[in-house]
Amino acid sequence: DETTNLYGDYSPGTNNYFKSNVMDAIKGIATNVKHGDGCDDTACAHYNKQEVVSQLHNVDFIVVALGTGQHVEAEGHDKFHYDLPGKQKQLLQDVLDNAGDNPVVVLLFTGSALDVSFADADHRVSAIVQCFLPAQETGVAVRHMLLNDVAGAVPAGRLPFTWYKSENQLGDINDYSMDGKTYRYLHDNVDPLYP
């Protein structure tokens, strides 16, 4: 429900009239919408499995919003790990284990790549969408993307940087050569998750 985590730390002032979030998007698609926070913020140090799992019954599809927000990454506040923050991976795993045959769409709200290789490899995940930090009209954009109801609403599948399969593929941060760092320079035996 909270919208501030959908803004990057360079976003301008916003107009409350235009604010929309993922819940607004889903409410614009479905009539019976269930919601379980699971985490009290994007750092996800405290996770309530029961709150999430209890919402997964009698549904047609599931949308899971994960990511960082300014609690985890911002200018001058870099994230220290490539993993999903806190217990977000466990949250997604619990959703997948309790989703039945319902399609699961994962929306990532981040300013950078995260290790989602486990979700990419899981056949129960129908789609993973990197939304970045889309700001005040997030709900409108997500609704159009899910419904493909306006021109240009479908994600093009292009990313501005390489997503590695794991933190192990990342080089030394103090090594400024490009050797082994982007899809153009990775060694033959290393495949990124998304080039």
pLDDT in tens, 106-132: 999 988 889 999 999 999 999 999 998
Alpha-carbon radius of gyration of the chain: 17
For residue 1, pLDDT beyond 60: no
Nearest to 114 by CA among 184, 180, 193: 193
Strands of 102-160 (E only): list them.
104-109, 125-130
CA 128 to chain centre: 7
8 Å CB contact between 33 and 26: yes
For residue 100, pLDDT beyond 90: yes
Residue type, 102: N
The dihedrals phi and psi of 179, each to the nearest 5 degrees, come to: -60, 120
Highest averaged pLDDT of the listed ranges 22-36, 43-57, 131-145: 43-57
Summarize the confidence of residues 30-42 as an average pLDDT: 88
What's the pTM value of the predicted model, to 2 decimals? 0.87
pLDDT in tens, 173-184: 677 676 766 666
Q: In a 3-state reduction of DSSP, which class is residue 152?
A: coil
Highest averaged pLDDT of the listed ranges 8-17, 73-82, 161-170: 161-170
